[in-house]
Structure 1
């Protein structure tokens, strides 16, 4: 397995994985399949080429099987913060330390971003495996966003977590 930073040339493969994630676990993402399936490939190319966003992909024999994004805040008063978004591993590859390796890669990247002191993420409150992973990397819960998402009439709470660098 290989993990590397994705770029615009990976946009089609990333889009495919992203749409899979939104269909497989709609409760885990603020965006929806219905919204993002309409996005042009340019949107994903731009996202992957951004100077302030880092998306890493996990590959197995050339296939993209997982990804995670890190975005640094751009406002002067918030440049000490970054947020992890869109962690996803395809279901048949879960439980094989891929998410752990993606988190390790993101946290290594943070070390190279001058001035970042805090890393934020949110996780579905009932997603025990993800919360266990994040806790193992030093993330702690600082709040709960009740009814944060509403998917097909069902509400989902999000746990808000932070790690200080």
Structure 2
């Protein structure tokens, strides 16, 4: 599995995957396709520039970018022991092939070794059973549920809040 940090030169592939995800799975993301489609590619490239407190990772194969995941350390001093996963998306044609797990494991290793955090959080639509199963397999646990987290086309969706803790941390 070829997972690496995305950089500004990956902006077009990243934006194409992100827009596809926003179209195919609108209830999985807080951003909407309409909001993101108008984003200039220069801004997308800027978002992928190196930052010491977070990264976006991509899984590549011969056919190009197959999935993405973002991770960001919390910014406030008293919260900096935590990071959060965002923007996780795997192309439907490669789901169930280990791409999502490889991305998550890479992001969690980065969080532990590079960011030095003790905990990683994420939010997931309660109806996204495949994502929930994946997150549980890598060690995330539900610690709460927010009712009506997202409103998409007049329908409210609930979100599970999940956490993964570094094994050596108390």
TM-score strictly above 0.5: yes
Q: Which residue of 2 aligns with 1:21?
A: 21
CA separation in 2, counterparts of 1:85 and 1:77? 21
User: Deviations 1:43-65 (Å, cap 9, x if unpaired)?
Assistant: 21121114122111111204111
User: Deviations 1:99-157 (Å, cap 9, x if unpaired)?
Assistant: 01111111111122344111000011011111111111111111101111111111111
Which is worse superposed, 48-57 or 22-31? 48-57
Q: Which residue of 2 aligns with 1:82?
A: 83
Q: Which residue of 2 aligns with 1:120?
A: 121
Which is worse superposed, 69-78 or 25-34? 69-78
Aligned residues: 165
Spell out the pairing of 1:36-51 with structure 2 (5 A cutoff): 36-51=36-51
In structure 2, stretches of 5+ residues that fail to align are: none
Cα-Cα RMSD: 1.2
Runs ≥4 residues deviating over 3 A: none
TM-score (norm 2): 0.93
* CA displacement at 1:163 relative to structure 2: 1.1
1:94 aligns with 2:104: no
